[in-house]
């Protein structure tokens, strides 16, 4: 679900950087407060797992990509703010090492996947775990895939309206919401099922150990 | 100081690349970026091309195909967006080759340690993944059935977890031995 570099206008990514800077500062304080010798190894392992899962990307016709992320797992185990911190770190490493995503799109990807995705995952898990633990974990994984996809499809889909030439030709992303919403959402609703099952498997595995 | 100047130059170049909509100026920017990359320019260029090729093809073909549905399609747009995306990725890879990433995050010690650990885990994961793949291939005479390949992947995943957690725990113990987690260490050890 990464937005590739070069498809977002400065009118989008500059305000996103400002918003993300505040969130990164708060997340860094949370990280500093909670980091200890039991949390650190687990955080590093699951972050690396997230990196590996996000590295296997399939491009979508709407101009973005589909991949698993492990964000549901991170959100259930560490909560939204630590997840936001490590997902931002993973996205930065991906941009620098593989050119996946990118620097201009980093705040949008981080806010959508790391913060909104993990917050939705935590909320879904808390609401459903009382009924059934596995349903809560599945919801966390599914929401962690679908909520960022909706946000990213909206951000991409409004680009032709935000940045265009005098004769209406796009300057950045060329497709509107009528293309991006179905092109991004349909695969991610299905991917969410795999992400939900992965979340159940990995979190159950971690709890047994 | 050098790293900060490079980061500043990169930020200005990225803002310029996304604010200029004339392909000729983007070509000038690309030539300047090639000059800045020096002897590494062909290697970085090839990496950047591989990184953007699939996405840009998908978008360019999708955009061109919209002409079939009566939409106005501009060749100028295709040139502009492909040049811009390539330039941005080229700049990012040039920066990554020039700047020490761990030094760039050293304003926060927890972030530096976490980055070190995550990088070490990524290297561990990738090496083990390749080792397991090669070991699996060298030990089988026929293609695995779907169930067998799932079982093999699950076993490999458990092994990867065990190994990565063991390594991360060892590093955390070494950090504890050096006083990183001492509550009385304050900002000096936990740092910011």
Helix, strand, coil percent content, chain A, rounded in steps of 5: 75, 5, 25
Interacting residues of A59 by C-beta distance below 8 A, sequence separation 6+: A65, B54, B55, B58
- pLDDT bucket at B17, cuts 50 / 70 / 90: very high
pLDDT at A37: 74
Q: In whole angstroms, what is the distance from residue A120 CA to residue B29 CA?
A: 41
pLDDT at B187: 44
Residue B79, φ and ψ in degrees, nearest 5: -65, -45
Tokens of A93: 């490493």
pLDDT over 90 at B32, yes or no: yes
pLDDT at B166: 79
pLDDT over 50 at B188, yes or no: no
Nearest by CB to residue A171, choosing from B15, B21, B51, is B21
- The arithmetic mean of pLDDT across residues B133-145, rounded, is 78
pLDDT over 50 at B186, yes or no: no
Q: How close, in Å, is residue A111 to chain B by CA atoms?
A: 18
Q: Which residues pair with A123 in a beta bridge?
A: none
Q: Which residue, B74, B23, B87, B81, is CA-closest to A166?
A: B74
Give which of A99, A160, A165, A176 to mutate to test B binding, by max B Cβ within 10 Å.
A99
pLDDT over 50 at B191, yes or no: no
Q: In whole angstroms, what is the distance from residue A114 CA to residue A125 CA?
A: 16
Least confident range from A8-12, A76-80, B27-31, B137-141: namely B137-141
pLDDT at A13: 93
pLDDT over 60 at B30, yes or no: yes
Chain-chain contact of A32 with B108 (C-beta, under 8 angstroms):
yes
Tokens of B33: 């970026």
* Per-chain mean pLDDT for chain A: 86
In the stretch 13-32 of chain B, residues with CB closer than 8 A to chain A read 14-15, 17-19, 21
Q: In whole angstroms, what is the distance from residue A18 CA to residue B34 CA?
A: 30
In the stretch 144-183 of chain B, residues with CB closer than 8 A to chain A read 158, 161, 164-165, 168-169, 171-173, 175-176, 181
Chain-chain contact of B114 with A43 (C-beta, under 8 angstroms):
yes
DSSP annotation of A70 reads -
What tens digit of pLDDT does each residue of A172-197 get? 988 899 989 998 888 889 889 988 99
The chain A residue lying nearest B20, using CA atoms, is A171
Q: Which residue, A141, A111, A184, is CA-closest to A50?
A: A141
**Other CB atoms within 10 Å distance of the CB of residue B131:** 12
Interacting residues of A193 by C-beta distance below 8 A, sequence separation 6+: A142
Q: Are A201 and A14 in contact (CB under 8 A)?
A: no
What tens digit of pLDDT does each residue of A46-104 get? 777 777 777 666 556 555 566 777 889 889 988 999 899 888 988 888 887 766 778 88
Q: Alpha carbon B163 to chain centroid distance? A: 23
Nearest by CB to residue B181, choosing from A36, A65, A174, is A36
Size of interface A-B (CB pairs under 8 A): 167
pLDDT over 90 at A30, yes or no: no
Chain-chain contact of B165 with A45 (C-beta, under 8 angstroms):
yes
What tens digit of pLDDT does each residue of B48-95 get? 898 888 888 888 888 888 877 777 788 888 999 999 999 999 998 898
**Which CA distances in Å does B81 have to A60, B42, B52, B62, B71?**
17, 21, 11, 13, 18
Nearest by CB to residue B18, choosing from A9, A60, A170, is A9
The complex scores an ipTM of 0.78
pLDDT at B43: 93
Q: Are B3 and B100 in contact (CB under 8 A)?
A: yes
DSSP annotation of A8 reads S
Q: Are B90 and A92 in contact (CB under 8 A)?
A: no
Q: B4 touching A, CB under 8 A?
A: no
Give the whole-number percent of chain B exceeding pLDDT 90: 21
Q: In whole angstroms, what is the distance from residue B16 CA to residue B19 CA?
A: 5
pLDDT over 70 at B192, yes or no: no
Question: Which chain A residues are Cβ-neighbours of B108 within 8 angstroms?
Answer: 28, 32
Q: What is the pTM of this model?
A: 0.82
Q: Are B140 and B43 in contact (CB under 8 A)?
A: no
- The arithmetic mean of pLDDT across residues B120-128, rounded, is 74
- The arithmetic mean of pLDDT across residues A107-127, rounded, is 95
Give B179 or B36, the one with higher predicted confidence.
Answer: B36
* Per-chain mean pLDDT for chain B: 80
Chain-chain contact of B85 with A5 (C-beta, under 8 angstroms):
yes
3-state secondary structure (DSSP) of residue B164: helix
């Amino acid at each position: 679900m990464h937005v590739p570099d070069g498809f977002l206008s400065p009118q989008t990514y500059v305000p996103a950087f400002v918003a993300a800077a505040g969130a990164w500062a708060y997340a860094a304080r949370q990280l500093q407060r909670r980091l200890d010798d039991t949390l650190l190894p687990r955080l590093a392992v699951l972050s690396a797992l997230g990196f590996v899962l996000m590295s296997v990307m399939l491009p979508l016709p709407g101009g973005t990509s589909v991949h698993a992320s492990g964000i549901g797992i991170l959100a259930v185990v560490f909560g939204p703010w630590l997840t936001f911190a490590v997902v931002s770190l993973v996205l930065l490493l991906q941009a620098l090492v593989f050119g996946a995503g990118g620097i201009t799109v980093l705040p949008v990807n981080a806010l959508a996947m790391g913060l909104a995705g993990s917050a939705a995952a935590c909320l879904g898990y808390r609401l459903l775990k009382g009924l059934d633990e596995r349903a809560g974990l599945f919801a966390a994984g599914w929401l962690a895939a679908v909520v960022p996809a909706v946000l990213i499809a909206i951000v991409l889909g409004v680009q032709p309206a935000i940045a265009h030439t005098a004769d209406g030709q796009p300057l950045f992303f060329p497709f509107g919401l009528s293309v991006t919403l179905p092109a991004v959402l349909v695969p991610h609703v299905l991917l969410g099922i795999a992400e939900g099952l992965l979340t159940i498997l990995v979190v159950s595995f971690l709890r047994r150990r | 100081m050098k790293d900060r100047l490079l980061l500043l130059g990169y930020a200005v170049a990225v803002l310029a690349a996304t604010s200029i909509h004339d392909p000729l100026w983007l070509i000038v920017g690309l030539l300047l970026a090639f000059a800045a990359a020096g002897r590494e320019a062909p290697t970085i260029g090839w990496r950047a091309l591989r990184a953007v090729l699939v996405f840009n093809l998908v978008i360019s073909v999708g955009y061109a195909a919209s002409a079939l549905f009566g939409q106005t399609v501009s060749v100028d747009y295709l040139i502009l967006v492909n040049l811009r995306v390539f330039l941005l990725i080229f700049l990012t890879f040039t920066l990554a080759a020039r700047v020490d990433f761990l030094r760039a995050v050293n304003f926060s010690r927890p972030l530096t340690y976490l980055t070190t650990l995550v990088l070490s885990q990524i290297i561990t994961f990738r090496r083990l993944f390749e080792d397991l793949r090669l070991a699996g291939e060298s030990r089988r005479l026929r293609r695995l059935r779907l169930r067998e390949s799932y079982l093999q992947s699950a076993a490999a995943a458990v092994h990867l977890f065990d190994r990565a957690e063991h390594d991360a725990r060892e590093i955390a113990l070494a950090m504890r031995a050096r006083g990183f987690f001492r509550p009385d260490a304050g900002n000096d050890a936990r740092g910011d």
